[in-house]
């Protein structure tokens, strides 16, 4: 790292309190967690509703076709519930690893750009995306690791940080780390 005396660049402002030591864990994506829990909780409810009212799926009076439609729908909901449960557990385990084994490392901004992307839908608006490339030295392999990341931002930044600006990386191992 070139040791440039620039201001620390925080990629996601929600991480500022963690980097400053005012918070002991990283913020989690609550929308993701709530959505997955909702999928897990709603799926059995839909199964019960369909099982008790099979003609909702297939208004035919033929019992076999109604039964097959009900079983297919119930299997699809069970698969959705299992996938949502797996994603939720994986996400929570990753957050737990960050909290219990993560260490803060210094890194450096290698590249940064932002882009406003207009939606193709009428009245769809636009999204503002921030793209960064950063590098840091792995404490395990003693090799530099370079990675790119992006996120949506509410508005484009007036002034981008300079290449070489310091960044903080929460590091667990050479495959599990995140730019803060």
**DSSP letter string, 62-127:** -HHHHHHHHHHHHHHHHHHHHHHHHHHHHHHHHHHHHHHH-EEEEEEEEEEEEEEEE-SSTT--EE
pLDDT of residue 4: 43
| pLDDT band with cut points at 50, 70 and 90 for residue 54 | low
pTM value is: 0.72
Angle between helices 63-101 and 30-52 (to 10 degrees): 160
Residue 126 has pLDDT above 90, yes or no: no
Residue 1 has pLDDT above 50, yes or no: no
Residue 124 has pLDDT above 80, yes or no: no
CB 84 within 8 A of CB 42: no
pLDDT of residue 73: 76
What's the average model confidence in pLDDT over 45-66? Answer: 68
Question: How confident is the model over 153-167, as pLDDT tens digits?
Answer: 877 778 889 999 999
pLDDT of residue 3: 46
Q: Which residues of 45-72 are buried (b: 16+ CB within 10 A; e: fewer)?
A: ebbeebeeebeebbeeeeeeebeebbee
- How many residues are given for the chain? 180
Any bridge partners for residue 114, and if so which?
130
CB 78 within 8 A of CB 85: no
């Amino acid at each position: 790292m070139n040791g440039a005396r620039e201001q620390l660049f925080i990629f996601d402002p929600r991480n500022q309190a963690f980097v400053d030591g005012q918070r002991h864990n990283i913020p989690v994506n609550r929308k993701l967690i709530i959505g997955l829990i909702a999928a897990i909780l709603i799926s059995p409810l839909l199964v019960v509703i369909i099982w008790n009212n099979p003609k909702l799926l297939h208004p035919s009076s033929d019992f076999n076709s109604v039964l097959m439609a009900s079983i297919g729908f119930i299997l699809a909901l069970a698969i959705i519930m299992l996938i949502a449960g797996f994603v939720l557990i994986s996400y929570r385990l990753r957050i737990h690893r960050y909290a219990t084994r993560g260490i803060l490392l210094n890194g450096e901004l290698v590249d940064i750009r932002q882009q406003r992307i207009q939606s193709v839908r009428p009245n769809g608006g636009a999204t503002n995306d921030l793209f960064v490339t950063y590098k840091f030295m792995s404490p395990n392999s003693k090799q530099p690791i370079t990675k790119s990341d992006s996120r949506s931002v509410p508005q484009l930044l007036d002034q981008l940080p300079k290449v070489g600006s310091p960044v903080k990386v929460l590091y667990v191992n050479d495959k599990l780390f995140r730019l803060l």
